[in-house]
Amino acid sequence: MSDSSNTGPLSPDERRAILDAPRPRRSLPLAARPVASRVQLPLADESRAVDRTMRPIYAVWELTLACDLACRHCGSRAGVARDDELTTSEARDLVRQMAALGVREVALIGGEVYLHPGWTEVVAEIRRCGMQSTMVTGGRGMTPEVAAEARRAGVQSIAVSIDGLEETHDRLRALDGSHAAALTALRNCRAAGLPVALNTQVNRLNLGELEAVADVLFEVGAHGWQVQLTVPAGRAADEPAVILQPYDLLELFPRLAALKERCDRGRIKMMAGNNVGYYGPYEHLLRSYCHDRHGDSCSAGRSGLGIEANGDIKGCPSLPTAKWVGGNVRANTLERIWERSQPLRHMRDRTRDELWGYCAECYYGDDCKGGCTWMATSLFDRPGNNPYCHHRALEMQARGKRERVVRVEEAPGLSFDCARWDLVVEDLPAKAEK
Amino acid sequence: MSSLVLCSTCRRHVRLGATTCPFCSASITSGEPGGGDRSLATRGLSRARMYARYAAIATGVAACGGSSSETSSTDAAGDAATDTAASDTGAATDSRGDASGDGSVADAGADTPDTVSDAPPDTPCCPPYGCVFPDTACGGDLV
Ligand code: SF4
């Protein structure tokens, strides 16, 4: 078992204060009902060669915003279903459009997938159309019966979110017993014959517990582990003390590298998510699964497709709704939205000129283009400058500096919304300080 | 094709064509994308092969209908044809259709932006997020 006394970047007192902090009123699940967006931007008259040659490979689909949890770091502020979610019939039609467009893997997320009345029919249609089917769950309602339904429908892998040890997980998920429920879900899925994986968001509360989360991988026989940073969007933007600071990556990355080696030895596939980067001394290890052993720039609208439960189409499921929805499948076909909407075209058309701040002068700018668009836009309302970068933190450190983000304006309280943040460059503190 | 290679001394990625590593000052002797250790770099290919298989299945997607889609069946067939070209040499191709290997995109008209090289990864390896798929992509022959 791993040492669970490590408190990561926080002192024990700081950590206790955050654990005990009451939930911000703004982040309560009933505070803001999701609004129907149904964005209908004009589409271009014609598609271009680049729009026809680039095709979505991965689709991540919020099947419903209804959720049986209301996590304090949830980017979509899930809990209540959207007013205008796709019916099962509409969802199955969208599955067929995805397959025709070339999508090969569909990851269903929520909310909670099993709260959509037709979720097993959607899964079955995904498989019937020859695509791979996975899903992500918080696990609260993943009973043996639901797990068996998933298996029968054709789900090929289920990822259960585990965000730390019990106290940390329950605090982040805002429900006592949610950690125990997630572990039970893992066992129920295994008993049903489903391959299981873990998903973990890394933040200041759980950075010191990642090794203990890795223990769970081995205990439950998981085949994979995807690790992402908690992005300051949605409810996570309401709790700035929980979000990692950019300089915390200096502590995080050696730990991730050690965990990757441990997972490799245990034949568990650990994947650094697309906001874990970039190009530092562990890139080749953390992205050993990639052809060139390094990440690519943001894949939204290039190989990635994101879908909101009402049929709104984005390049990445987490991008802020207002600026990044290209259209809705009730008004246009998926193909037309993919090929002709400006938000979907954005990553196909951009150049290095989009970079700003430190990223504009970065050695890796041509390849990286600022990394995760969700992270950059959640901080600064535009892509192209991302302080959550290991290479950048190391360069700052070499100059005796570090970067810190400071929230200067709260998020309005809507699904996938963002706060406003300032970026402070300051001298590194003396070694002993945190 | 990546524009970066791996410095065998400090394991940082450096620009293709660099003679000296900007991070550790070691001389760069290998010009191979991802560095000299291909046993690691080819781990992603099993997923590409798997996708080739699925793309072949997707060719039959006409059976699924796509009732309101305007997608022509030639698109899916084109995908399958290029994906099936994935091989152990690392020359996995994708749905861009640039199987010619020179990075050019056939039929690129005047409306094609000059960033056309900013294409999806040659070897699709990881969902933006979602669930890790139980295949052999990164850990050897898992599951
Ligand atoms: S500084 Fe910016 S462009 Fe450079 S590697 Fe980091 S995120 Fe990418």
pLDDT digits (tens, 9 = 90+) for A95-112: 999 999 999 999 999 999
A11 confidence band (pLDDT: 50, 70, 90):
confident
B25 confidence band (pLDDT: 50, 70, 90):
very high
**Regarding predicted confidence, which is higher, A32 or A29?**
A29
Does residue A391 line the site of ligand 1, with CB under 6 A? yes
Share of chain A above pLDDT 90, in %: 82
Q: Give the pLDDT score at A369.
A: 94
Strand-pair category, A401-409 with A327-328: unpaired
Q: Give the pLDDT score at B133.
A: 72
Q: Could you count the other beta carbons within 10 Å of the beta carbon of residue A207?
A: 22
CB < 8 Å to B121, chain A: 290-291, 296, 299, 303
pLDDT digits (tens, 9 = 90+) for A77-92: 999 999 999 999 999 9
CA dihedral angle for residue A134, residue A137, residue A142, residue A147, rounded to 10 degrees = 0
- Tell me which of A13-17, A251-255, B22-26 is least confident: A13-17
Identify which of A107, A285, A291 has the shortest CB distance to residue B130.
A107
Give the CA distances from residue B104 to residues A76, B100, B114, in Å, rounded to whole numbers and listed in that order: 39, 8, 11
A4 confidence band (pLDDT: 50, 70, 90):
low
Residue nearest to atom 6 of ligand 1 (CA): A389
Give the CA distances from residue A85 to residues A67, A112, A117, B81, in Å, rounded to whole numbers and listed in that order: 14, 13, 11, 36
Does pLDDT of B57 surpass 50? no
| Cα A30 to the center of its chain, rounded Å | 23
Q: Where are the beta strands (DSSP E) in A15-62?
A: 58-62
Look at chain A and count its residues: 434
Ligand 1 atom closest to the CA of A362, numbered from 1? 4
B130 confidence band (pLDDT: 50, 70, 90):
low
Does pLDDT of B68 surpass 50? no
Does pLDDT of A276 surpass 70? yes
Encoding tokens for residue B92?
């996995």
The CA angle A162-A238-A312, to the nearest 5 degrees, is: 75
The angle, 0 to 180 degrees and rounded to 10, between the axes of the packed helices B73-83 and B45-59 is 150
Ligand 1 atom closest to the CA of A386, numbered from 1? 7
Which has the closest alpha carbon to A251: A361, A402, A379? Answer: A402
Question: Which residue carries 């191709």 as its tokens?
Answer: B93
Q: Give the pLDDT score at A13.
A: 86
CA dihedral angle for residue B93, residue B98, residue B104, residue B109, rounded to 10 degrees = -140
Cβ–Cβ below 8 Å for B13 and A347: no
Does pLDDT of A39 surpass 60? no
A18 confidence band (pLDDT: 50, 70, 90):
confident
| Cα A379 to the center of its chain, rounded Å | 15
Cβ–Cβ below 8 Å for B22 and A363: yes
Q: Give the pLDDT score at B104.
A: 30
